[in-house]
Structure 1
Amino acid sequence: MTAPVWDPRQYLRHADHRTRPFRDLLARITPLPGEPAPRIADLGCGAGNVTTLLAERWPAARITGYDNSPQMLERAQAHAGPLLDFTEADAATWEPSETYDLIVSNALLQWVPAHTARFPRWLDALTPGGTLAFQVPGNFDAPSHTLMRDLAGSPRWADRLGGLLRHADAVHTPADYLAHLAAPGRTTDVWETTYLHLLQGEDPVLDWVKGTGLRPVLTALIDDPPAREAFLTEYRDLLRTAYPTGPYGTVFPFRRIFAVVRTAG
């Protein structure tokens, strides 16, 4: 399957809502062993906007943002500085070449098949008392995703889009993550939250998913604009029924799963 082509500007259109889970994740991270100048890896840094939140929390930290999207990394370079850099890497194969006080990942692992198999190596790369922290979307059974998958697998689109999209097994349950992460000597915190995002504008749920979950479809149809617009029109109409506009905007429930693991010091 061709890797999705990302559009940083589209992704950042809902930056306030998208960064809230990351802020909530950061709030659960306790002091790091390397403070005041810890070494931090941000896996799936995207456009770098959330990586800057790490720099705000730990101004003296040496931080590297990793991503496999050239488009996102180009945008992220605007945030680079003496202690903050960005480099290309794929989380599916990334092997830490040094130790880190914090390895953090924001809304990435759902794109990485069998990502729990990566946890032991990442945990081994932490300094004593270091932390692995991540959050992933847990909304693959929400209408925004089920309608997208059903439409892509329908007779009209199956030959071009069938099997292209991620399914519910793209992420695990909180209990599964706890089972993979908990061990003697570790402090493990796993939880879930459903945000009720109140979105504004015309077809805001479609606008949201065009920045993330819909990227494989948009990439597959990138050379066929009429087909792209036809799919978007069909999908838009389904979303309008599933997420009707209310008097104050469109409510978009979004479940997230979080995990913070601190190793023995």
Structure 2
Amino acid sequence: MPERAPDLIFANAVLQWLPDHATLLPQLFGLLAPGGVLAVQMPDNLAEPSHRLMREVAGAGPWSAAIGDPAVAGRLGRMLEPTAYYDLLAPHAAEVDVWRTTYHHRMADAAAIVEWVSATGLRPFLDPLDTDQKPRFLAAYERAIAEGYLLRSDGRRLLAFPRVFIVARKPG
């Protein structure tokens, strides 16, 4: 435990991997010094085609036994609704701001979307697969992505990437 409580706890795209936000965020907030700020940003893309299709492909192919429950691999149930984060922190905070923003990333093709998610969201689905299963899973996933993301007027695809932001200040 530090000698002095922190004035700022900042978490950028990490807490979405951890369970039990209803306990975790109030605990983090409680660690702050008077007047301290909790600032959190988390991707909120589990309902987007990129992540929904990961789970569907994971559960439907010969790799499903290696991956296990797609909901567990896909970290379903870890994120709360933005209003729930407000309700967790507001009774203890001087002020709380919570908002959700969706960024739209212009992607060249379905393969670019697969590449985009392969370093993060796709990792729990790929890690348990052997060297024969990975390329087959990725090919099936890319086909699903090609169907799930329509071509736009310029021949590209738009990857919607929602994020939740939370900024809460402790009373001084």
Aligned partners of 2:93 and 2:140: how far apart in 1? 52
Does residue 262 in structure 1 map to residue 164 in structure 2? no
Whether the 8 Å CA contact 1:204–1:250 is kept in 2: the answer is no
Counterpart of 1:253 in structure 2 is 160
Does residue 154 in structure 1 map to residue 63 in structure 2? no
Specify the SS of the correspondent of 1:264.
Answer: coil
Aligned length: 168
Distance 1:202 1:190, change over 3 A: closer
| Identity percentage of aligned residues | 36
Does residue 238 in structure 1 map to residue 150 in structure 2? no
User: 1:9-54: per-residue Cα shift (whole Å, max 9, x none)?
Assistant: xxxxxxxxxxxxxxxxxxxxxxxxxxxxxxxxxxxxxxxxxxxxxx
Does residue 109 in structure 1 map to residue 15 in structure 2? yes
Whether the 8 Å CA contact 1:151–1:157 is kept in 2: the answer is no
Does residue 169 in structure 1 map to residue 77 in structure 2? yes
Counterpart of 2:115 in structure 1 is 207
Does residue 99 in structure 1 map to residue 5 in structure 2? yes
Report the alpha carbon displacement of residue 232 of structure 1 after superposing the two structures with TM.
0.4
Report the alpha carbon displacement of residue 202 of structure 1 after superposing the two structures with TM.
6.2
CA RMSD across the alignment: 1.8
Match of 2:42 among 124, 136, 144: 136
Specify the SS of the correspondent of 1:132.
Answer: strand
Higher relative CO (Cα under 8 Å, sequence separation at least 6) belongs to: 2
Aligned partners of 1:167 and 1:157: how far apart in 2? 18
Counterpart of 2:86 in structure 1 is 178
Report the alpha carbon displacement of residue 115 of structure 1 after superposing the two structures with TM.
2.7
TM-score by length of structure 1 reads: 0.59
Distance 1:200 1:155, change over 3 A: closer
Q: Which runs of 5+ in 1 are unaligned?
A: 1-95
Report the alpha carbon displacement of residue 216 of structure 1 after superposing the two structures with TM.
0.9
Match of 2:133 among 222, 227, 241: 227
Match of 2:103 among 157, 177, 195: 195
Specify the SS of the correspondent of 1:257.
Answer: strand
Q: How does 1:22-37 map to 2 (within 5 A)?
A: none
Distance 1:202 1:156, change over 3 A: closer
Q: How does 1:115-126 map to 2 (within 5 A)?
A: 115-126=21-32
Whether the 8 Å CA contact 2:21–2:78 is kept in 1: the answer is no
Aligned partners of 2:160 and 2:83: how far apart in 1? 21
Report the alpha carbon displacement of residue 184 of structure 1 after superposing the two structures with TM.
4.9
Higher mean alpha-carbon deviation, 99-108 vs 160-169, is at 160-169
TM-score by length of structure 2 reads: 0.88
Higher mean alpha-carbon deviation, 199-208 vs 175-184, is at 199-208
Aligned partners of 1:160 and 1:141: how far apart in 2? 23
Aligned partners of 1:212 and 1:111: how far apart in 2? 10
Distance 1:184 1:160, change over 3 A: closer
Report the alpha carbon displacement of residue 108 of structure 1 after superposing the two structures with TM.
1.1
